[in-house]
Structure 1
């Protein structure tokens, strides 16, 4: 498994990480998937305090305890469950962040978090206060580095101006090329992209249209998907569609890792095989760019 440097940090993360949200709450099944990830050479595990009311962090921490010094644990903060745990509210305040990090550390069973990410963000947030909290946590040793999880252009721009973040987690795939607009800026600032959703909810897997619905996907109608998905596979004969999908995302040097979820060991191994396959040629990349839309995030702009 190849590794890439995350931003300006000392973290060299595997090209594929494990998005832990889909692990579920059956610990035996989650343990099998995490162990398979370790066997494949994955060293980056991404969770959040929001997932399963913190149970996800507990499962991840427990299963990585014996290899803690060999892996990187990333989690997220900013969403607060209400007392009934049937909805959550947004809270990027410094007070919440400094309280929530200790709760996450306890659930994870570790003394530090490798990458602490703001789980969202709006332009009306007090970004200076959020950044100050992250910087204080770094100095105190609770976290090593920090980033944000957002695709909102105005939020990304503000954080690149006002912080020393090392990563931006964004949904990015052949069907959602919105992050490409920000790659030059992020590369210039040496900020890495962590790509979630690289398989577009399974549309870019061998199941293709089985995962589609009549509403389509983003700005693709169902009919457009019906026409496009077979072409993405047929035009690059000899490659499985998830090979093409993951290698397309990794073709950009600003991407440090793709982080698909995995609800089974088989799914995880298929994704790892895809990441370890040969890189796309320039000709193949040109074909893919011609077939797909260079989407742009139209809202949340200044």
Structure 2
């Protein structure tokens, strides 16, 4: 498994990362998936304090304990569960971030977090205060580096200009090309890496295609458009490889992208994702063809 440098950090992340949200709380099943990931050379594991009310961090920390020095653990903060645990509120305040990190460290059973990420963000936040919190956590040794998880171009621009973030996690795929016009060039210019999620577009960019499509469509694609686009992508690009391989290689072709974070609930899915990362890169002609078949979506909302 190839590795890429994460922004200006000294972290080298595997081209496929494991998105841990889908692991569940059954430790033995989660451990089997994480061990399969380690065997495939995956060293980047992404969780959040929000997942399973913090139980996900406990599972990840326990499963990675023996390999701690060989792996990169990323987690996130900024969302607080209500007392009833039926919803959460947004809190990017310095006080909350500094409180949340200590709880994450305890659940992960580790002395430090490699990459600590703000789990969202709006332009109305006190961004300077949030940055101050992350910088202090770095100075205090609780975290090595920090980043944000956001698709909002205006928020991303603020952090790129004001902070020392090394990465931005964002949704990006063949069917969601919104980052291409604004976010990816901006971040690449600032030497900030992108970690992508949603790469297979809820399973539509896999061999199951329309079986995974909703009747209301996807983003600005109607169901009828998906009926046309998905088979065309498969016909033109996936005759000798899977659509998942095409989807992952499309993301990895962008110079701003360091890693594709993909969820997996079985060891077989891990192996499929690893195979996709190891498949041949797309040619410039193939990338042009993908762009001619799909939409150059733009961020109308989420500013």
Category of TM-score, reference length = shorter chain? over 0.9
CA distance in 2, matches of 1:233, 1:240: 8
Structure 2 partner of 1:27: 27
Structure 2 partner of 1:216: 217
CA distance in 2, matches of 1:210, 1:23: 23
Structure 1 partner of 2:5: 5
CA distance in 2, matches of 1:98, 1:122: 19
**Where does 1:141-220 land on structure 2 (aligned, <5 Å)?**
141-181=141-181, 182-220=183-221
Shift of 1:265: 1.3
Q: Which residues of structure 1 form unaligned runs of 5+?
A: none
CA distance in 2, matches of 1:91, 1:162: 20
Cα deviation digits, residues 21-72 of structure 1 (max 9, x gap): 0001111111110000000000000000000000000000000000000000
CA distance in 1, matches of 2:186, 2:229: 30
Select the residue among 242, 266, 269 that pairs with 1:267. 269
Count of residue correspondences: 301
Q: Which residues of structure 2 form unaligned runs of 5+?
A: none
Structure 1 partner of 2:279: 277
Shift of 1:259: 0.4
CA distance in 1, matches of 2:186, 2:287: 21
Matched, 1:295 2:297: yes
**Equivalent residues of 2:113, 2:143 under 8 A apart:** yes
Cα deviation digits, residues 201-239 of structure 1 (max 9, x gap): 100011111101111000011111111111111101212
**Superposition misfits of 4+ residues, deviation over 4 angstroms:** none
**Equivalent residues of 1:233, 1:239 under 8 A apart:** no
Give SS of 2:263's match: coil
**Equivalent residues of 2:217, 2:223 under 8 A apart:** yes
CA distance in 2, matches of 1:88, 1:213: 26
RMSD: 0.7
CA distance in 2, matches of 1:253, 1:61: 31
Select the residue among 252, 257, 261 that pairs with 2:254. 252
